[in-house]
Amino acid sequence: MSGGAPGTPDLSAAEVRAALCAAMRALVSEGLTRGTAGNLSVRTAHGMLITPSGIKPDALTPGAIVALGADGTPLEHNCRPSSEWRFHRDIYAARSEVQAVVHVHSPHAAALACQRRGIPAFHYMIAVAGGDSVRCADYATFGTQALSDAALVALAGRRACLLANHGQIAVGTSLANALDLAGEVEELARQYQFAASAGVPVLLGARDMRAVMEQFKGYGARHGESEEQT
């Protein structure tokens, strides 16, 4: 596998592997995951590079990152890929704009997911996920095709979703973009829980959210940044 990954165009494959290791450690330091929970991938010309199964971030090395073909077939035999490789594969197949996928069991997002609740338009920043809500996917056993199918439904027209009794998925046009979105979703989940604990949050209507989405379109173009930032 030579050349940079589409989601990290200025990096070599070796540098992408190192970036995935650094990103997993950053997720731990930011409290978005712990232990061996969570996984990351970046699209490549041949398929994807994905974090392995069962290796803690502080022990993760570039050599442990697994290369998979577009159909999920291993392109090398160093480590087992994350058990969640199916939804990474299926997201890349369904969404040509997605260049990186982040899956974490971040505390506030997971807490809402365990209630099988999504995040409604209680705050305009919900639009960072691509619509007027962050949906919660139907429950399915981890690592199964059923979970991947449920995730794709919840991600339709969105860049993030919750997974019932599980965690969250965030996707992006780069690894940095997807990581930022995962952090935003966790913060929105935290704020929503605070708001709901004080009463019933007042939700923004469809007209207000359409105006926000329109504003977001121009924001990235003006600042040379992702439209998910504001």
Tens digit of pLDDT for each residue in 152-161? 999 999 999 9
Q: What does the pLDDT average to over 139-156?
A: 98
User: How do residues 59-115 score in pLDDT, each as one tens digit?
Assistant: 999 999 999 999 999 998 889 999 999 999 999 999 999 999 999 999 999 999 999
Catalytic-residue membership of 15: no
How far, in Å, are 10, 71, 87 from residue 90 at the CA level?
Answer: 25, 9, 5
Name the catalytic one among 84, 186, 227, 228: 84
Count of positions (residues) in the chain = 230
pLDDT at 229: 39
pLDDT of residue 7: 54
Give domain limits for the chain.
Answer: 13-223
Residue that has been written with the tokens 């979970």 in this structure: 147
Give the largest Cα separation in the chain, rounded. 54
Give CA–CA dist 137/133, Å, rounded: 12
Predicted pLDDT of residue 72: 96
**CATH classification for the domain delimited by 13-223, as one of 1.10.1660.10, 3.40.225.10, 3.40.50.700, 3.40.50.300:** 3.40.225.10
Structure tokens at 158: 């969105």
Q: The whole model's pTM is what?
A: 0.90
